Amino acid sequence: MKRANFSNPWMPLLFLLPQLSIIAIFFYYPAVQAMQSSFYLEDPFGFGSTFVGLRNYVETLLSDQYRKAAIFTVVFTFLVSFFSLSISLLLAYKADKVLRGGSTYKTLLMWVYAVAPPVAGLLGVMYFDQSFGLFTYFVADFGWDFKLGVDYYDTATAMVVVAVWKQVPVNFIFFLSGLQSIPKSINEAALIDNNSGFSRFWTITFPLLAPTAFFLLIINITYALFDTFGIIDMLVKAVPANNPMTLVYKVYLDGFRGNDLGGSSAQSVLLMILVLILTVFQFRLIERRIHYT
Amino acid sequence: MQVTLKNITKTYGNNVQAVKPVNLEINQGELIVLVGPSGCGKSTILRMVAGLEDITGGELYIGDRQVNHVDPADRDIAMVFQNYALYPHMSVAQNMGYGLKNRGVTKDEITQKVRDAADILNLSEFLDRKPSQLSGGQRQRVAMGRAIVRNPSLFLFDEPLSNLDAKLRNQMRIEIKKLQRRLGVTSIYVTHDQVEAMTLADRIVVLNGGVVEQVGTPSEIYNNPASLFVASFMGSPPMNLINLAKPVTHKNDKNELKLVNKLFGSQDHNNIQIGIRPEKVQYTYDASENSLPFTIDYTEELGASRLMHGKIADQSFILSDTSETEVKSNNIHLSFPAEALYKFDNETGRKIEL
């Protein structure tokens, strides 16, 4: 790395200012506000607030609904990350080997990338809706009465499917470029050393893809935790009822639908802590086992 | 193990025939070098033998077994790649043991074999290192180690030395030759470097445009080239070739061409090229009956010899002189010993027996 020397000590600060101000305005300021309001009980009509100490936290952590949402979030994140990573890896591995018409496959697989999460959610509604969903009609023939927005597990299934479908192309692009960056001769050397394609994949290809996979794992966990908001909102149609929801969606629901700003703030502070722990854990523990060339 | 190629061909999807029918019998323990310019099909042949490329036509035998449709891992071969192709996430020992592990060899046996191979190649102290922590020459050795540790019946080398610097290349070339002699394993070696081919090979296969031009020992190839291509490709500096059919306009060139024609007595058949190795040309300061005047344009001093460049009938001509005394004049007279001359047919490119 080249070291730059500035004659004026304020120069570097000037260059950093745009980035720093964006972070300050859109991250630090709201974060501090959330922390502050998490200690207050807000009047539902916004006329005043009372300092309540840690009561919001205690109530949140003791609440049955919060625990339920937390468990669902963990399961949801795991399922979405697992399926979107493994499906895209399989597709990328196969697409990498296609010689004829390879670019057509790749373009088709990447198209979904351009779909925004709420639109993906809307497409999911079209597919899974109780009265006009294609999937609902299809499974009805097999005796499965699919009830989106009514049955807890049916809704959860739809959420996972749509969230995975939306994320597969992103992972696919990264995995494909990761596969293509493995030198051809290494694959050929492996071909001579090992006659089992399955074993070759796990002993050569996969370890060499590990940096990509690790990066994608973080991206996918973040995606499942935070970016699926639009999909969930479309699928539950803003009618929470008995429906499953993630912690992020609950923050929105309690704060802006339930008008409980204090409790909602406490929840978002808890989420911030969770993300912090997760990040430290990932980089400390997993990254050590990964080989970067 | 004996390796036999019977009418092996390779045609790519766009109907380009990269390898025209090749027939070759490689004897047990022999080191065969495939040499030719890029695009001559030498790597394609090697990759077909390895099983990395499908064989379009013909039959390939390793020993008595036809292996056209056998997986690369089941052909009992080992290959050394140009860029080494070491597995970056494995240590040197793991790299060398990987092929054994997949063949169900026990752990103790793998450790023993890897240690033996490392001893031979002076790699013992590097066994725990990753390839990224090694120098180019060491990586090359690991690639060799990965090949010999399995004790295969055929070694394949795909330009293994071209990523090394000149000094290391010479050293590794000698090591490869010694190792191959010691292990007595049949080997096919691909290179575009004719010096490498000459020094390593038991027999050389010269390829051009997917066609085998000549198969022979290094001295056969050098002293008895079968075609114009072999004559001009093998040898450094290359053989001098004078095309008697070359149209020249300059009066002086015309005269020279006439003179050459007369010297070689080739009036009967003009569409030929005359060849002579640079070191076989003799020179004098005085003209004689059978000599040709020659002007030295520039001289290359190589230490052991001296290359003098000039032109005969507007075609570049080199003579090599190993004597210690420098040439006193730039205008000399060349004479050509009859036994050192070659004649090639311009149309077929083949040699004409004198």
**Does residue A189 sit at the B interface (CB-CB below 8 Å)?**
yes
Q: Residue A184 sits in which domain range?
A: 47-289
| CATH assignment at residue A179 | 1.10.3720.10
**Does residue A188 sit at the B interface (CB-CB below 8 Å)?**
yes
In this predicted structure, the answer to whether residue A1 has a pLDDT above a threshold of 60 is: no
Residues of B in contact with A208 (CB under 8 A): 88-89
Would you state the pLDDT for residue B268?
56
Where is pLDDT greater, at A106 or A195?
A195
Rounded mean pLDDT, B158-185: 88
- Number of independent structural domains in chain A: 1
For chain B, how many residues are written? 354
ipTM: 0.83
Where is pLDDT greater, at A106 or B202?
B202
In this predicted structure, the answer to whether residue B267 has a pLDDT above a threshold of 60 is: no
In this predicted structure, the answer to whether residue B233 has a pLDDT above a threshold of 80 is: yes
Would you state the pLDDT for residue B229?
92
Where is pLDDT greater, at B100 or A130?
B100
Distance, in angstroms, between A287 CA and closest chain B CA? 14
* Single pTM value for the model: 0.80
B58 close to B7: Cβ distance less than 8 angstroms: yes
Contacts for A216 with CB less than 8 Å, ≥ 6 apart? A85, A171, A174, A175
Classify residue A16: in a domain, yes or no.
no
Closest CA in chain B for residue A186:
B85
pLDDT in tens, A267-278: 999 998 988 888
Rounded mean pLDDT, B301-321: 88
For chain A, how many residues are written? 293
**Does residue A190 sit at the B interface (CB-CB below 8 Å)?**
yes
Tell me which residue in B51, B81, B132 faces A189 most closely, judged by beta carbons: B81
Would you state the pLDDT for residue A204?
92
Task: Tell me if B73 and A183 make a contact (CB, 8 A cut-off).
Answer: no
Range with lowest mean pLDDT among A36-50, A159-173, B148-162: A36-50
> What angle is formed at CA B118 by the lines to CA B112 and CA B124, rounded to 5 degrees?
100
Distance CA B26, CA B187 (A): 9
Would you state the pLDDT for residue B261?
72
Would you state the pLDDT for residue B354?
67
Classify residue A3: in a domain, yes or no.
no
Classify residue A1: in a domain, yes or no.
no
CATH class in words for B3-233: alpha beta
Q: pLDDT above 70 covers what percent of chain B?
A: 98
Classify residue A35: in a domain, yes or no.
no
Task: Tell me if A193 and B73 make a contact (CB, 8 A cut-off).
Answer: yes
pLDDT in tens, A136-157: 888 888 888 888 877 888 889 8
Q: Which of B269, B298, B267, B288 is nearest to B336 (CA)?
A: B288
In this predicted structure, the answer to whether residue B62 has a pLDDT above a threshold of 70 is: yes
* Domain boundaries, given as residue ranges, for chain B: 3-233, 240-352
Task: Tell me if B88 and A291 make a contact (CB, 8 A cut-off).
Answer: yes
Q: pLDDT above 70 covers what percent of chain A?
A: 94
Q: Which of helix, strand or coil describes residue B80?
A: strand
Range with lowest mean pLDDT among A5-14, B63-72, B147-156: A5-14
Classify residue A241: in a domain, yes or no.
yes
Q: What is the CATH number of domain B240-352?
A: 2.40.50.140
In this predicted structure, the answer to whether residue B47 has a pLDDT above a threshold of 80 is: yes
In this predicted structure, the answer to whether residue B10 has a pLDDT above a threshold of 80 is: yes
Q: Which of B229, B224, B214, B227 is nearest to B33 (CA)?
A: B214
Classify residue A282: in a domain, yes or no.
yes
Distance, in angstroms, between B170 CA and closest chain A CA? 24
- Strands B292-301 and B282-284, how do they pair? unpaired
In terms of C-beta density within 10 A (0-12 exposed, 13-18 middle, 19 or more buried), how is residue B153 classed? Answer: middle
Classify residue A28: in a domain, yes or no.
no
